[in-house]
Structure 1
């Protein structure tokens, strides 16, 4: 998932959850529940895009194909050919615009903190009453001092300032989304409802409390980080909610609707990440062990295999596959500018008719590298399809791409690139990558186990031969 997709998802969820609140919850007198909802909804909007539940993803999976899972541990493709610099790098332009807005929001927040410090140092509050975290500031000469103190202490004891800080940060992160700013205002309004309800209860009379609210002896300032007792812009709304009858208990059923709301968001998120994960585990490059089973049964519709009797073949063989990839692949400008290097693991399907598709990134690097790998996979010509029991089947391949800057490789010797190729061991025997297909054809068994060792661990186990990593394959 790239950063643009993430930001768009976050803001979509903010719009949906706040729309739900605005239509169903904002007029209810369950103020603490509303506060909890706004906080939870805003936090989950940032978290849900990362949610990758296998169970939920399985609901979105509708493909009904017979799949043979096969992993090809190829030598890394070292990509050095630069892409032509485009006239406009839209990703970079959007990033600059976004971070300029975010920076402006942080600057505004910092100015607010600076002014707040100045406010704390005032010796004469001159009719002001406000609170900030555990501190309450009230002009001792102000009328109705005890009532106002009770109100501000509610803000202080319930940590309303923490909510304000979070929503100010949210406003900076989502500065282009009006809903983020509506949520800032709404959470402050809910804070006032909570404090008004408790302070009026302590006073013993809502009418008397309203008279305190409409008093003309209060002054305020524009600092958005503190809770002010007197805020003219929301005074009418506070009085209306204070005078409103308490919501009936059956209105709590509305909050129960949040369950399907958030479930729907999870399903949407799973569908979005499904193209990137498709029920595959994230590869841990430190040490990965994969075990799969290949049943010795006749082929049936929907049956999944690990090894086929005859695996798909690229036209011209493995060495020609290397040449094709190195001929097609281009190092994205975005990745070059950011000096991004590393490995991208991709899986794709060689279908029954030999066509290639459904490229999925298992572990990516971003910055256009993942998209480039998928693009190259899509350029592949028709393969000779794999067969099981004499019938063509779909075959999954998993392949690593190594991206490095300012390094070149000999494209005439791609099949024997040992400069940075990991050591390949099959059942304890060292074999060349170009011999792997033949070895697998002659060693189809009940189970295939592959273990990837990173260079550090491989070197300690195999010495100099393992300095570029080791791939251990066992047929059980």
Structure 2
């Protein structure tokens, strides 16, 4: 499975889990249960993308979700009157940005580990109170020393440091998701609630314990990977929680709501895996069927090895650039936009069933289909060592780049070009070549690529009676009057 798909799924599941916690569980006083929920849900979020259940695979809703999220997407290709091969891709840029953020987060995590090691080497930790992995450090001179020591021992005995490290690692991996920073802060707050409740119960007075919180010193660096007693940023929340009325036992029934949430996550995970679509003679690309009988007829949306265009994506874009033509109807009507295609690369490497999911008309849909139909044979995709049929989607953008066409009946059609991005493409049948007039001089066999864009002032297109009237029989196939800048 594609690692990017897994990463996106994990962040989706984390976001759903935290949203459920925020709206249904956060205000309750079931601190131990909330801690367990956040821990288990964060672990499940990383595991679910790898879980495949046959029974979930067969559900109708899974097949519908699969068609939305699991079809292999190709990068967008832009067509202009002169189509150029893309020089870079958004995917590569996104991957580079991700790994830069990941590297920065990993460096910051490593620095915090180093600071923690340095903290342990200090002989006299005056005014400090914290615990980490079973080690409890409390300055005996602190006001309320006994209560503070008991508080830190709760952290130590319940292994809260493991939670802290786990959520720090999640923040490194999913650094781009703001939800993980809320999660990292929330788990520390829950740890404090648990320890505060335990010590306040032993003291028999939440009010007295709250006084210790307020009157204590605040010296420890809260950025370190420790459970810190003196964390000013959450002090108000801790005191408020101590005075809050305990939640009723019946409120625990809210945890049952997580079951349909887990089911929804399983549906998405299975839809993003090897969801199978039986190929029919005229398949509907927006629907999936449940009857999957023979391996040969199955169409996969995600496979272990994706089909490859001969020479790779760069070669594919070059092929499109060489073959595709901007339809004249679309140019004259100033039509631009995206054509979304869906097609199958079969187990023999041939492109079949190209279909327009969303088009813009004026010949653009047909042109996109024509080019895709004529793709050369691909290296087929494989699953479990066998060649299989695979679905792909591809957006092709038709863009005029500022070129404006003005068509008028029985009159010349004028094409006005901007100073930048002007180029010509041979799209005319050799037998139907128009007469070319450059600066009022007829030229034969003129190669457009010899003319630099910045040299062009305007192009005037004559056709029909207007062209014949001015140039005689030479204008039968139309005339291009090109005027360059003086």
Could you tell me how far apart the structure 1 residues matched to 2:312 and 2:345 are? Answer: 19
State the shift of 1:121 in Å.
1.6
Asked if residue 235 in structure 1 is aligned to residue 235 in structure 2, the reply is yes
Could you tell me how far apart the structure 2 residues matched to 1:223 and 1:258 are? Answer: 32
Could you tell me how far apart the structure 2 residues matched to 1:197 and 1:217 are? Answer: 21
Equivalent residues in 2 for 1:27-106, closer than 5 Å:
27-60=27-60, 86-106=86-106
Equivalent in the alignment of 2:133: 133
State the shift of 1:219 in Å.
2.4
Equivalent in the alignment of 2:162: 162
Equivalent in the alignment of 2:471: none
Equivalent in the alignment of 1:288: none
C-alpha RMSD of the superposition = 3.8
Q: Is the 8 A contact 1:348 1:357 kept in 2?
A: no
TM-score (norm 2): 0.55
Equivalent in the alignment of 2:273: 273
Equivalent in the alignment of 2:107: 107
Equivalent in the alignment of 1:117: 117
| Higher RCO structure (Cα 8 Å, ≥6 apart) | 1
For residues 266 and 60 of structure 1, do their structure 2 counterparts lie closer, same or farther at Cα, with a shift above 3 Å needed? same
The one-character-per-residue Cα deviations of 1:57-85 (angstroms, maximum 9, x if unpaired) are: 10037889xxxxxxxxxxxxxxxxxxx98
For residues 213 and 61 of structure 1, do their structure 2 counterparts lie closer, same or farther at Cα, with a shift above 3 Å needed? closer
The one-character-per-residue Cα deviations of 1:333-386 (angstroms, maximum 9, x if unpaired) are: 69xxxxxxxxxxx98599xxx994599xxxxxxxxxxxxxxx9999589xxxxx
Could you tell me how far apart the structure 2 residues matched to 1:168 and 1:41 are? Answer: 15
The one-character-per-residue Cα deviations of 1:22-60 (angstroms, maximum 9, x if unpaired) are: 001011111111001111111111111222211101003
For residues 85 and 164 of structure 1, do their structure 2 counterparts lie closer, same or farther at Cα, with a shift above 3 Å needed? farther
Q: Is the 8 A contact 2:346 2:352 kept in 1?
A: yes
Equivalent in the alignment of 2:211: 211
| Match 1:330 to one of 307, 311, 333 | 311
Q: Which SS does the other structure have where 2:272 is aligned? A: helix
State the shift of 1:124 in Å.
2.0
Q: Is the 8 A contact 1:128 1:220 kept in 2?
A: yes
After superposing the two structures, state which structure 1 stretch, 180-189 or 110-119, moved more. Answer: 110-119
Unaligned runs of 5+ residues in structure 2 are 65-83, 279-288, 298-306, 316-343, 356-370, 378-385, 390-486
For residues 378 and 4 of structure 1, do their structure 2 counterparts lie closer, same or farther at Cα, with a shift above 3 Å needed? farther
Q: Which SS does the other structure have where 1:47 is aligned? A: helix
Equivalent in the alignment of 1:418: none
Q: Is the 8 A contact 2:61 2:267 kept in 1?
A: no
For residues 306 and 3 of structure 1, do their structure 2 counterparts lie closer, same or farther at Cα, with a shift above 3 Å needed? closer
Could you tell me how far apart the structure 2 residues matched to 1:17 and 1:329 are? Answer: 43
Q: Which SS does the other structure have where 1:273 is aligned? A: coil
For residues 274 and 307 of structure 1, do their structure 2 counterparts lie closer, same or farther at Cα, with a shift above 3 Å needed? closer
Asked if residue 399 in structure 1 is aligned to residue 380 in structure 2, the reply is no
Could you tell me how far apart the structure 2 residues matched to 1:116 and 1:225 are? Answer: 7
Equivalent residues in 2 for 1:71-470, closer than 5 Å:
86-275=86-275, 329-332=310-313, 348=346, 356-357=352-353, 399=387
Q: Which SS does the other structure have where 2:59 is aligned? A: helix
Could you tell me how far apart the structure 1 residues matched to 2:12 and 2:295 are? Answer: 43
Could you tell me how far apart the structure 2 residues matched to 1:358 and 1:160 are? Answer: 55
State the shift of 1:400 in Å.
6.8
For residues 358 and 24 of structure 1, do their structure 2 counterparts lie closer, same or farther at Cα, with a shift above 3 Å needed? farther
Could you tell me how far apart the structure 2 residues matched to 1:55 and 1:358 are? Answer: 31
Q: Is the 8 A contact 2:63 2:271 kept in 1?
A: no
Q: Is the 8 A contact 2:217 2:230 kept in 1?
A: no
Q: Is the 8 A contact 2:6 2:49 kept in 1?
A: yes
Could you tell me how far apart the structure 1 residues matched to 2:177 and 2:211 are? Answer: 37
Q: Which SS does the other structure have where 2:131 is aligned? A: strand
The one-character-per-residue Cα deviations of 1:142-164 (angstroms, maximum 9, x if unpaired) are: 12111111000010011100000
- Number of matched residues? 300
